[in-house]
Amino acid sequence: MDEVLPKHSADQVNIPSAADLDLVSAFLDSSWMEKGLSNLTQESYRRDLSQFAIWLNQRGSRLDVADSVAIQQFLDFRFQQKLSSRTSARFLSCLRGFYRYLLREGVLKENPVALIENPKLGKPLPKSLTESDVEALLAAPDVESPLGLRDRTMLEVLYACGLRVSELVGLTVSQINLRQNVVRILGKGSKERLVPMGEEAARWLERYLREARPVLLNNIPDEIVFPSTRAQPMTRQTFWYRIKYWAEVAGIQAELSPHTLRHAFATHLLNHGADLRVVQLLLGHSDLSTTQIYTHVAKLRMKQQHAQHHPRG
């Protein structure tokens, strides 16, 4: 690097420089305007770029003067920390967008990421649950209590509609149509989709709205469908803890993730013969290739069933 940068104190190198923070904020504002990035994606990009900026700052450099060598060294540094290839690929995707933005704004004349290749990624199979596991999980909450009825309804809606956890906890009354049993979801990139609910989930939702929700909200008018015990919108983390708790009650041994019921929704639909493009629309995937990984899960399940039940399996 040709530019000589000022030296920093020990405290200064542990935070991004003011100039770097300004560049990151401008990039995120631009990305939000152009692509409608979700809050989660913006937080992820801000975190990745801030970590890179701190690493550069500790070496007397900045984001707008980093070259491909520095970027590769940072990737090696992350690899030594045993971060996954998928995490590195996400960071590179963020970095490509960031430096394209700097080029477009005239801050840079060359793109330092242009010749850096993405790490090779395998396609891990999503973790799922068997249909009997799902039934056990749904039956675990005590529906005679307002909290238990709320949790049972959340699990039913999550599994029936294949929602992301963030979509479930952010659900509002105006998004639900119980006459037609559909839910209007605003997904990633502000893309809207209509998802059918199924009669079983609709019955639980109707009962919950009538019996438990007014109690949880202390009869205070509010749009949020699933409030916390403090009558506030529930966080994703809180609901995730609830899932893990009910899984323990149900005696489920399978490893769970926040997307487990969403994966189960997709896998079970395909196992029962649903069309892949229909599942793509229900999940809100913009690219069919994102949905196709579920066909591997379905095929694996079919092979297991064949091996277990066929006379010559």
Edge to edge, what strands does the sheet with 176-177 contain? 176-177, 182-186, 192-196
pLDDT given for residue 206 in this prediction: 96
CA distance 213 to 157: 15
Q: Where are the domains of the chain?
A: 12-104, 131-309
In words, the CATH class of domain 12-104 is: mainly alpha
Which of 128, 186, 200 is closest to 157 using CA atoms?
A: 200
Count of H helices and E strands in the chain?
Answer: 13, 3
Q: How far is the CA of 145 from the CAs of 149, 169, 188, 212, 230, in angstroms?
A: 6, 19, 34, 8, 16
Residue 59 dihedral angles phi and psi, to the nearest 5°: -110, 15
CA distance 103 to 25: 16
pLDDT given for residue 251 in this prediction: 94
Is the whole model's pTM more than 0.85, yes or no?
no
Cβ–Cβ under 8 Å, residues 254 and 133:
yes
pLDDT given for residue 189 in this prediction: 66
pLDDT given for residue 259 in this prediction: 80
Q: Which residues are catalytic?
A: 164, 188, 259, 262, 285, 294
Which of 240, 247, 265, 251 is closest to 128 using CA atoms?
A: 265
Q: What is the pLDDT along the chain (313 residues), one digit of tens a residue?
A: 343 344 444 445 577 888 899 999 999 988 887 777 778 888 888 999 999 999 999 988 999 988 888 888 888 787 777 776 677 778 888 888 899 999 999 998 888 888 777 665 555 555 678 889 999 999 999 999 999 999 999 999 999 888 889 999 999 999 999 999 999 988 776 678 888 888 999 999 999 999 999 999 998 889 999 999 888 989 989 999 999 999 999 999 887 876 888 888 888 888 887 777 777 777 776 665 556 656 655 656 555 655 665 455 4
pLDDT given for residue 5 in this prediction: 40
Place of tokens 């997307």: 259
CA distance 54 to 4: 17
Q: What CATH topology corresponds to 131-309?
A: hpI Integrase; Chain A (1.10.443)
Question: Which residues have a Cβ under 8 Å from the Cβ of 301 and sit 6 or more positions away?
Answer: 267, 271
